[in-house]
Chain A
Amino acid sequence: MSKQIDVPILKAKDLQSDQEVRWCPGCGDHAILKQVQAAVAETGVAKEDIVFISGIGCSSRFPYYMDTYGMHSIHGRATAIASGMKAARPDTSVWIVTGDGDSLSIGGNHLIHLLRRNFDVNILLFNNEIYGLTKGQYSPTSPLGLQTKSSPMGVIDHPFNPAALALGADATYVARVIDREPRHLKESLVKAHQHKGTSFIEIYQNCPVFNDGAFSAYTERGLKEEHTLFMEEGKPLIYNKGKKGLRLNGLQLEVVDLESGEFSADDCLIHNPKDRTLAHLLSRVFEEAEESGFPRPFGVFYEEERFTYESALTAQVAQAKEQQGEGDLDTLLQGPNSWVIQ
């Protein structure tokens, strides 16, 4: 458990470091940084108990801008470093900042193992569907056909679906947010912190230099209403100002028109993030909005209570001490068989 402080409550600006923020003007990272600072302040955890660990990529500069403990590590390994950090120090609040290349390409292996182990950490996956730091190659989340410096004829790699991947790795908390919805972003971060276990938060983040407008369908007025659905626990899955909704038809999700009079909000599915099957269905709503007619879901797909790795490890240490007694070095050195030479 992290130490909770009573007074004074931190303000977002207390979490700003003295380093100049160096992301490109207009980068979605700026907005995310602001909301993270606000959310972390709201958690009430003392500054000294917070650790930000990142890998490599534009987003991974993040820890330098937080006035907490932090490590800007190596490509793909933030998840592994954070695992050791949390195992050693269950009393700290650990946040991982990573990108689509960092966590889904070079660090894919560590990500899935972190998720299955369920360390109580928060993963902020900044997904801009491009490699920004290396100046514009396609990433494992770039859509098919995207023309980039390394794919002049279009991407032929089938892209990862991060939310579905996280669910497949038995993540206990899976959410999707977007840089342009600050309030939703902040609330989601606070909720992620409150979840005991690995919180996986995919953040759609616009790269204005190498992949501008990748998420415009979900951010631009006139488009976003029809293309985004914000999932809320206990509420029907409706969007576009209540004009449309999602219902179950057999084992498939279906978009229904709530204006035609044929269907009403009562016909739509009620969102229940505790329902793994529903989470899987919603995570697979992933086709390009224009083609499929489906909106992109945002919010919490899934949450589950499961023991954390560090709590089990701590319990084993306690159990061993109880059963065998606190380790005695002389007994260990002597071993079970010794003899005396006169």
Chain B
Amino acid sequence: MQETIAVDEVVVLFAGDSGDGMQLTGNQFTNTSAVFGNDVSTFPNFPAEIRAPQGTVGGVSGFQVKFGSHRLYTPGDEADVLVVMNAAALVANIHKLKKGGVLIANLDGFDAKNLKLAGCQEENPLETDQMHDFNVQAVNITKLTVEALVDTAVPRKEAGRSKNMFVLGLLYWMYNRSMEPTERFIKNKFKKKPELVEANLKVLRTGYHFGETSEAFASRYSVKPAQLEPGVYRNIMGNQATAIGLVAAAKKAGLELFFGTYPITPASDILHELSRHRNFGVKTFQAEDEIAAVAASIGASFGGSLGVTSSSGPGIALKTEAMGLATILEIPLVVINVQRGGPSTGLPTKTEQADLFQALYGRNGEAQIPVICAHSPHDAFEAIFEATRIAVEYMTPVMFLSDGYIANGAEPWKFPKAEDLPEITHRKITETDDEKYLPYKRDEKLVRTWAVPGTAGLEHRIGGLEKDDLTGNVSYDPDNHEHMVKIRAEKISRMAEDLPTQEIHQGNEKGKVLVLGWGSTYGAIQTAVAELVDEGFEVGHAHLRYVSPLPKNLGEILANYDEVVIPEMNDGQLVNLIQAKYLKKCRPLKKIKGIPFTAKEIKEFVISIYQAS
């Protein structure tokens, strides 16, 4: 008799060749767990090549998902279950499986050819002593899949391709999950090919029944729904949240959304999502290059729409001149950077936070703009909404920073009601009290007005040349230039008076160590600090939404701690900014490997600082 063991949280890592459908498998498992009521956190990790050499370690694609009956902030440091579809997947991932963990290996991916491709011709890794550390379940997944489809319309040669459904079925059995959400997904995905619906459903159920009847799997596990705050939830990925946030913000601002962009990993999904929402009046424009993408967005903003452009680091580099134009024009523009490993093409599919300086300083001349950071997939919604609000209400380009980890990660989201979202007030005017329209006349927040074509009597010309205060006419006057540079900067810094103050997300309000972060390190820091606080350490966690302008109370917060630890997935950027501005020595924790921090790494570093101080 198989027993059912209750556990609090589980990390499953699906790994296989990039053509094995591991991303789909992972996403399905995540959705099902989320719908069941677990909290989930995911980390897809795939090679840059669409079809890297089959069977090699370089071609391994992985999808890590953590699901639990309590609040989760990271996809986990180690896996409880590792699924490997071939030898290469085992080689690439076995170090992530915890001792005593379950290894499900597709035996058909360990034949002589696969072993050779994975560099294991000497010895089959499944037969090494290392395997004694794990609960190894070797199953002929491909063979069982093909056999399941013998009497169907699917040709024998093609049948093996459904093997990921076998894995999914098996995992659903192991964790007591309903197959219903995935069945619905299959029926919808292949609605025009009934033979594929039948085949995939059959294999899914075969996998499930294999778990039930196979004596090898002695235990199954149950992970109860999480005690999340009551409410209605959905599953959301970071890029999706960014796209939806833009639609919501445009609607709340009463502006048409114009999204000019150029495809680039890992930002393209924002375009894919937005291009489906033309019924919201969304105009997506796939431009000929990154420069045209931002330029067209500036043109749309000049025309009175909300101009938004998106890219990743290399594309942002190309957009910087136009961002300078938007800065001197003082026109609303949202620039999205979904960061990836750099410099240059770098690591296109891996995550990094090394574009912070680019966001802050990457333009010629004095060209300050607000920089707003998202810290998790669902948080991308709030952050992009805020970035848009600032762009529209302050007539300025805004940089929104996300990264590959946020973009492709997923988590449950207690989504807001449309009516509860704040209104955004744009600065459009239809008439002026002045004799002639003065485009650069400012209010007490130094914000100018927005007169758009079609408005009679407000015709005016603006441009990239330095402009005379008030009239906007070209001016080479030395004093005027200095005045304009200062006033544009002052507009951004004065914004801090209106923005929310920085809060301590968790832990001690003052004490020994503050962990200060920005962006996607949030989850790992939250988890580490929670554990440290439980263990009696005097530690607090503050996470920056605004890097420009910095929160007005940040200096006081820093002064409340003996030590400030700043973990970043770069070679130390925020740490330089903070040290220079507040003259406080901080402790950088750097990781530049294209993979996120584990909570353990942060925890150990904080303990080492704690002990040394």
Contact = CB atoms under 8 A, between A and B. Distances in A.
Interface of A: 17, 19, 46-53, 56, 63-64, 66-74, 77, 80-89, 91-92, 109-110, 113, 313, 316-317, 319-321, 323-327, 329-330, 332-335, 337-342
B458 A48 contact: yes
Contact of B297 (A51, A84, A337): A84
13 contacts: A48-B453, A63-B463, A71-B329, A82-B299, A85-B300, A87-B299, A88-B299, A92-B454, A327-B251, A332-B277, A334-B234, A337-B34, A341-B37
Given A48-B453, A73-B464, A81 B295 contact: yes
B251 A88 contact: no
**Tier of interface size on chain B:** 35 or more
Contact of B256 (A88, A321, A341): A88
A56 B461 CA distance: 15
Contacts of B37: 339, 341
Given A316-B278, A326-B279, A341-B229, A335 B247 contact: no
Given A80-B292, A84-B258, A321-B281, 10 more contacts: A68-B459, A69-B459, A87-B285, A88-B299, A89-B304, A110-B291, A319-B278, A327-B281, A337-B31, A341-B225
A63 B455 CA distance: 17
Interface of B: 31, 34-37, 181, 225-226, 228-236, 244, 247-248, 251, 256, 258, 260, 277-283, 285, 287-289, 291-292, 295-305, 307, 321-322, 324-325, 329, 415-418, 452-465, 473-474
A73 B234 contact: no
Contacts, number: 221
B303 A72 contact: no
A138 to B, nearest CB: 24
Nearest to B284: A313
A334 B232 contact: yes
A267 B278 CA distance: 55
A324 B248 CA distance: 17
A91 B299 CA distance: 14
Contacts of B321: 74
A320 B247 CA distance: 15
Nearest to A325: B279
B344 to A, nearest CB: 20
A70 B291 CA distance: 20
A303 B305 CA distance: 31
Contact of A51 (B278, B283, B325, B453): B453
A10 to B, nearest CB: 12
B67 to A, nearest CB: 14
A87 B305 CA distance: 10
A333 B454 contact: no
B285 A77 contact: no
Contact of B461 (A49, A72, A81, A110): A72
Given A337-B181, A340-B232, A109 B303 contact: no
Contacts of B304: 88-89
Contacts of B258: 84, 87-88
Given A332-B247, A341-B228, A84 B295 contact: yes
A77 B322 contact: yes
Given A320-B278, A330-B418, A339-B35, A91 B454 contact: yes
A71 B415 contact: no
Contacts of B324: 74
A341 B307 CA distance: 37
A79 B258 CA distance: 17
Given A74-B322, A89-B303, A339 B233 contact: yes
Contact of A81 (B36, B299, B455): B299
Q: Which residue, A52, A56, A334, has most C-beta atoms of chain B within 10 A?
A: A334
B455 A48 contact: yes
Contacts of B289: 109
A68 B234 CA distance: 49
A338 B297 CA distance: 33
A84 B278 contact: no
